[in-house]
Structure 1
Amino acid sequence: MTDIDPSVYASYHWFSSQYHKSRQEFAEFYKSALLYLAYMSVESLSDTFKLDFAFDLSLSALLGDNIYNFGELLAHPIIKSLLETKVEWLYDILQAFNSGDLVCYPELCLTHRAALSAQPALVENEKKLLEKINILCLMEIIFRIPSEDRTIPLNIIAERIKLTIKGVENHLIKSLSVNSCYP
């Protein structure tokens, strides 16, 4: 079919996102929500809607399986809705995940402990979040090194990720088994 109005696609992806949200299927919600935004003008959305949607989208990015790239989300104008609000902490956490910052993330968790504790999905998935940011940190370590120099001693990785050598070995195996996309 050709010449289908973009609002039809937007409606489809909106309902798909809400279905996945109701089932707490974070990765599927995330994908559908981004597709919804591809067919919508952010300027046409109310400020309240943008804030709520940006919040849900951010949580789903953090909690979604196999979502290891936050660049598209952080580049989208809707995410700026989180800035200068009581939920700006979520934007800061996305930034920490995006850069695999294992120093900033624990500090943010301490600073915003009450806000984080108010989100049951984040509390329930605390271990999964730590695992995800560790993988992102490892990917940052690897991609910051020139391609001809990518033989990295385990002790360097252990120091950056704050794990033992045995922990690094397990972490590497886990990282290699993850089906992630990272440009």
Structure 2
Amino acid sequence: MLQRKGGFSSTVCSYAPLSSLNLQWINTISSAILMLASGTSIQKPFLVPIFALQAPASIISWIKGEYGVWTAFLALLISLFFHIPGELELPFNALLLVLVAPYQILNLRGKLEGIILSLTIAGYLAFQHFSRAGSLRKAFDQGSIIATICMICVLTVPCLLLIGC
């Protein structure tokens, strides 16, 4: 505590680059990269709920707004007439999941329950990634270094958010 002339004033230690909004952006970008990455053997559909639970409010409001509805409509229209590659199917599913998710599910975002759920899914995915790679050293091989860094980010962000709660 700092003492001033008028009394006591408490200070809060905070490191601005690790704010909860920045952590949400790191998790969102990392999960999007993992959806498109080929250097991992995780079950990628589990990334969709992590994206929905940890994305910043600006992305969620964009998806639930008019632009998101039009984007989902055009993506659905394109998928009816053309083949969508598997790499683009998961981001489309994430868009649809957030778009049609009920309020009660999206209300978990930023709360302790949502962070614990995200941490549980991220822990399972990290276990898959590192156990299937064989060792920690093999997980950082040239073909999977980006996937490994993103997996570490997806795992550590809910831990940091949990500490901040």
* Fold similarity call, TM over 0.5: no
Larger CA Rg, structure 1 vs 2: 2
Higher relative contact order (CA 8 A, sep 6+): 2
TM-score by length of 1: 0.26
TM-score by length of 2: 0.28
